[in-house]
Structure 1
Amino acid sequence: MGPLQIKDILQTSPENQSVTVKGWVRTKRESKNAIFIALNDGSTIHNIQAVAEPGQFSAELLSTVTTGSCLKITGQLVESQGSGQAVEVKIDDILVYGTADPESFPLQPKKHSLEFLREIAHLRPRTNTFSAILRIRHALAFAVHQYFNDGGFFYLHTPVITASDAEGAGEMFRVTTLDLNKLPRTEEGAINFKEDFFGREANLTVSGQLEGELGAMALSKIYTFGPTFRAENSNTTRHLAEFWMIEPEMAFFELEDNMNLAEDFVKKVITYALIHCKDDLNFLQNRLAEEDKNKPQNERSIPLLEKLSFVVDNPFERLTYTEAIEILLKSKPHKEKKFQYPVGWGIDLSSEHERYLVEKHFKKPVILTNYPKEIKSFYMKLDEDGKTVRAMDVLFPGIGEIIGGSQREEDYDKLLGRVKEVGIDPDNLWWYLETRKFGTAPHSGFGLGFERLVLFVTGMSNIRDVIPFPRYPKSAEF
């Protein structure tokens, strides 16, 4: 199992027993009475303090014990003499695994901007902020798998390389082995993809949903959890070119079942983080509070733990898109022209509209349903009015939409009609359409961008800071 981690040592009763601690130096402080080394191994937000006597070690050795260096310390676990920790290590021996030159090591013990830390993504996990984020990210990922496993779902691995565009947006990264300097051409002058590896155009997937539906038509309940890609040239705090998607698909689920699952899912996963990531969440909450001190009162964020409890403790308000538009039209911001974007039936709601419904009007999370078909994807089931579809979006405070889903169209003729209506070649989706010919069934599903969830739970403001190595326009360094 390897050596004890610092999180375990900090919970151990001190009985002068010998312990071995391994980790990276956060700080070293010398006084006339003692030398204090704060060590962290990433297992917890908390450091362990190791203490040596002056003159116990050579000046040459101590000169290599600097912020960022990696040590193995052996000593006695004793009750701490200072405040802030119950135990500390009285050092007997120090082994330096790796040094960190103070002149060139960029993570000195001072405040660094998030923009700067993105430039050194290979080192930023060693900071308190990013180690906390990554531990929370792990806990949320574990909770996702645990939730679906306990609920009788099967984990389906859908392809990363695909010839279909599930969203119909066309913003996809191409996969090819063709020599870009010598592209084969057809007689018409177009690129001849028959000469490519797959014999046709291929891309990185934007969603595992379509293949997920195939699994649901055999296994009843499946979920996917994997990387997805979108070549959207967008430099915002909400967009990544590579991100992870959680997409359950369920046979025999209709819209109401889909909403019930989505609400229960996010509540359970967030509750898991509240239980298992208390120290990291408290640290991030305090970090946000420090940032808010410099903001006007009306721009300060809801305390992080309060925001998470807001989602967990409240039943989600459910209403149709049409009802939401009526509320927005009657709202004070609309009447006073304070919304940046116009309100009217048929619009794709912006984040400001969604947040008004959640934070101001209902003061609880919201699920909107039955959107106009023109602003939703082709695979969503048409309502009887022929104008709206059985879509379902879950809206959260501070972030707007966090889940998008729907009951899928199970009628072959209606689905074929929608495919043609939006300009997709039915031959490219023959396998998807055939599931509606061979034992079709009502079915539903939804998608949750994992980084969007991590962003919400950690309280961070930029999605590039909740994934270890973010991919966005002009950035693929690490």
Structure 2
Amino acid sequence: MTAKTIAALLKTEAKSQDIEIKGWVRTFRANRFIALNDGSTLQNIQCVVDFETMDESLLKRITTGAALHIKGQLIESQGKGQSVEVQVTDIKVLGDSDPETYPIQPKKHSFEFLRENAHLRTRTNTFSAVMRLRSTLSFAIHKYFNENGFYYMHTPIITGSDAEGAGEMFRVSNLDAKNPPLNEDGSVNYKEDFFGKETNLTVSGQLEAETYAMSLGKVYTFGPTFRAENSNTSRHLAEFWMIEPEVAFMDLAGNMDLAEDFMKYVLKYTLDTNREDLEFLEQRLKDEEKTKPQAERSEMSLIEKINFVVDNNFKRVSYTEAIEILRDSKPNKKKQFKYLIDQWGADLQSEHERFLVEKHFKCPVILFDYPANIKAFYMRLNEDGKTVRAMDILFPGIGEMVGGSQREERLDVLKEKMKALDIDEKELWWYLDLRKYGTAVHSGFGLGFERLVMFTTGMGNIRDVIPYPRTPQNAEF
């Protein structure tokens, strides 16, 4: 007999049928009632033991965290909360279980404690729900692009280019760290390194994705990216995942259409697929909000925020118009913003983005045509010579969710921008080739996957939406 998942059993009508299940003990009460969970659902299934027929030494081994293989009959539940339960006929304890040292006891644990036990934290309801939602979002992303004619490509993790021009990259080398080969001027001779040049972990797959878009038409990447930014905030990781579609013959307006349609699709799919997990996390968030001062509480529940994105058309606003709105806003005039807006060219902060979404327009917002000097070199320069065809999508509660642009397809303009930023043409000769051979308008955007998971789950710390977070001074597990 094949063991069934608990999620499947809880949907089954009780017909005194023989079943097998496997899972982990959440609680064991009165030597009689086992609450078993296998990760397929938030819900436990109650397994009722006739302790008079069970070996006493076996019962002692059934402790919180123990893995069990149970055989029995699925019957109508005698208690409240679920329609079926299991009348146990046989139990096997799989492996060992030490009740004295098992850290995930049936009580409330702090998120910090659970990060220290990240290998076991998905045994809790909160983290099992978060990781099921992460899985669903990932599937929805691939499903959307597959249904819309995109090709999935794997861009290099090891690269010699810095797509963002940020300079905060992890070096990849197999040179002797204590005694590297040196040039005559005392600098490290990377020609003797494994790849014959200085290489790093990628910060983005965008530039390589552009090359494929200019032959396959529509492509996307979804993979790990890295930033050597020494930041310990609740929004930064050294290793995270990025979704980056690139489309040939698509301008900025088409890029905005694509991004809006994409975001609505994946969130709607998750609402339809993981309602139980979302309702649990919504209640967790409501309980957490009660402990905050009134001014810090969210005006929308978790599911309301998701529906806010799914149900509303995204408002498209130029950066210039947004600056005027913010400069004239009450929080700016009363100096309630931490970063006051006084002139065109300011780099918008999360507080400004959230004001536009939550207070002013009351819908998701797409800002476009940003100042060129605060955006990347590859974004297409507008005719005014001071703005670029960039766009950011702003969500409630979190601010920027998506960043993208129409790419600069003109060779002479791109070369000038690279020269101004001291970007070596020799390092990106292949990228420039796209502007020599069959150049055309093309666009794309990037979405940090963990930020999307944070928005969808309501979790406040990015370390809690990735299985094993990599942050400064932390590479455990």
Aligned AA (2:318)? T
The one of 217, 220, 223 aligned to 2:217: 220
Alignment of 1:448 with 2:426, yes or no, is no
1:278-293 → structure 2 map (5 Å cutoff): 278-293=275-290
C-alpha displacement of 1:188: 0.6
| Separation of aligned partners in 2, 1:98 and 1:79 | 30
1:180-199 → structure 2 map (5 Å cutoff): 180-199=177-196
C-alpha displacement of 1:126: 1.0
| Separation of aligned partners in 2, 1:98 and 1:27 | 18
**What corresponds to 1:255 in structure 2?**
252
| Separation of aligned partners in 2, 1:297 and 1:19 | 50
Is the contact between residue 68 and residue 99 of structure 1 (CA under 8 Å) also seen in structure 2?
A: no
Is the contact between residue 40 and residue 47 of structure 1 (CA under 8 Å) also seen in structure 2?
A: yes
Aligned AA (1:309)? N
1:267-282 → structure 2 map (5 Å cutoff): 267-282=264-279
Q: Deviations over 1:255-312 (max 9, x none)?
A: 0000000000000000010000011101101111111111222222221111100110
C-alpha displacement of 1:4: 1.4
| Separation of aligned partners in 1, 2:97 and 2:282 | 30
**What corresponds to 1:16 in structure 2?**
16
1:100-119 → structure 2 map (5 Å cutoff): 100-119=97-116
Alignment of 1:142 with 2:139, yes or no, is yes
Instruction: Please identify, of 146-155 and 51-60, the stretch whose mean Cα deviation from structure 2 is larger.
Output: 51-60
The one of 312, 325, 328 aligned to 2:326: 328
CA distance 1:2–1:198, change in 2 (3 Å): farther
Is the contact between residue 48 and residue 85 of structure 2 (CA under 8 Å) also seen in structure 1?
A: yes
The one of 36, 40, 64 aligned to 1:43: 40
Q: Deviations over 1:78-103 (max 9, x none)?
A: 01111111110000000000332221
C-alpha displacement of 1:56: 2.5
| Separation of aligned partners in 2, 1:112 and 1:254 | 49
Cα RMSD (Å): 1.0
Aligned AA (1:318)? R
| Separation of aligned partners in 2, 1:108 and 1:75 | 26
**What corresponds to 1:465 in structure 2?**
464
The one of 230, 234, 237 aligned to 2:234: 237
**What corresponds to 1:408 in structure 2?**
407
C-alpha displacement of 1:422: 1.1
**What corresponds to 1:169 in structure 2?**
166
The one of 83, 89, 98 aligned to 1:86: 83
C-alpha displacement of 1:443: 0.2
| Separation of aligned partners in 1, 2:186 and 2:136 | 52
Aligned AA (1:360)? K
Please state whether the residue corresponding to 2:426 is helix, strand or coil.
Answer: helix
Aligned AA (1:22)? K
Q: Deviations over 1:41-64 (max 9, x none)?
A: 101111111001232212211111
Please state whether the residue corresponding to 1:133 is helix, strand or coil.
Answer: helix
| Separation of aligned partners in 1, 2:248 and 2:172 | 32
Is the contact between residue 65 and residue 99 of structure 1 (CA under 8 Å) also seen in structure 2?
A: no
Unaligned ranges ≥5, structure 1:
none
The one of 311, 317, 341 aligned to 2:309: 311
Q: Deviations over 1:12-64 (max 9, x none)?
A: 11110100010000011117xxx110001101111111001232212211111
| Separation of aligned partners in 2, 1:238 and 1:423 | 30
TM-score between both structures, scaled by the size of structure 2: 0.98
Alignment of 1:52 with 2:61, yes or no, is no
C-alpha displacement of 1:342: 2.2
| Separation of aligned partners in 1, 2:39 and 2:367 | 40
Please state whether the residue corresponding to 1:393 is helix, strand or coil.
Answer: strand
Is the contact between residue 21 and residue 73 of structure 1 (CA under 8 Å) also seen in structure 2?
A: yes
**What corresponds to 2:27 in structure 1?**
27
Instruction: Please identify, of 46-55 and 357-366, the stretch whose mean Cα deviation from structure 2 is larger.
Output: 46-55
Please state whether the residue corresponding to 2:287 is helix, strand or coil.
Answer: helix
Q: Deviations over 1:186-221 (max 9, x none)?
A: 011000000100000000000000000000000010
Is the contact between residue 371 and residue 391 of structure 1 (CA under 8 Å) also seen in structure 2?
A: yes
CA distance 1:409–1:138, change in 2 (3 Å): same
Q: Deviations over 1:316-348 (max 9, x none)?
A: 111000000000011000000010012121111
Unaligned ranges ≥5, structure 2:
none
Is the contact between residue 27 and residue 67 of structure 1 (CA under 8 Å) also seen in structure 2?
A: yes
**What corresponds to 1:6 in structure 2?**
6
| Separation of aligned partners in 2, 1:74 and 1:5 | 13
Q: Deviations over 1:69-127 (max 9, x none)?
A: 00001000001111111110000000000332221000000000001100011111111
Instruction: Please identify, of 91-100 and 136-145, the stretch whose mean Cα deviation from structure 2 is larger.
Output: 91-100
Alignment of 1:77 with 2:74, yes or no, is yes
Instruction: Please identify, of 408-417 and 97-106, the stretch whose mean Cα deviation from structure 2 is larger.
Output: 97-106
**What corresponds to 1:264 in structure 2?**
261
| Separation of aligned partners in 1, 2:275 and 2:81 | 17
Please state whether the residue corresponding to 2:219 is helix, strand or coil.
Answer: strand
Is the contact between residue 156 and residue 202 of structure 2 (CA under 8 Å) also seen in structure 1?
A: yes
| Separation of aligned partners in 1, 2:3 and 2:347 | 54
Please state whether the residue corresponding to 1:391 is helix, strand or coil.
Answer: strand
| Separation of aligned partners in 2, 1:342 and 1:171 | 28
C-alpha displacement of 1:2: 5.6
Runs of 4 or more above 6 Å deviation = none
| Separation of aligned partners in 2, 1:46 and 1:99 | 24
**What corresponds to 1:347 in structure 2?**
346
| Separation of aligned partners in 1, 2:49 and 2:307 | 44
| Separation of aligned partners in 2, 1:363 and 1:467 | 30
Alignment of 1:131 with 2:103, yes or no, is no
Is the contact between residue 370 and residue 388 of structure 2 (CA under 8 Å) also seen in structure 1?
A: yes
**What corresponds to 2:202 in structure 1?**
205
Aligned AA (1:342)? L
**What corresponds to 1:337 in structure 2?**
335
Instruction: Please identify, of 22-31 and 171-180, the stretch whose mean Cα deviation from structure 2 is larger.
Output: 22-31
Is the contact between residue 130 and residue 465 of structure 2 (CA under 8 Å) also seen in structure 1?
A: yes
Instruction: Please identify, of 94-103 and 187-196, the stretch whose mean Cα deviation from structure 2 is larger.
Output: 94-103
**What corresponds to 1:375 in structure 2?**
374
| Separation of aligned partners in 2, 1:472 and 1:398 | 23
| Separation of aligned partners in 1, 2:302 and 2:153 | 33
Is the contact between residue 73 and residue 93 of structure 1 (CA under 8 Å) also seen in structure 2?
A: yes
C-alpha displacement of 1:430: 0.6
**What corresponds to 1:358 in structure 2?**
357
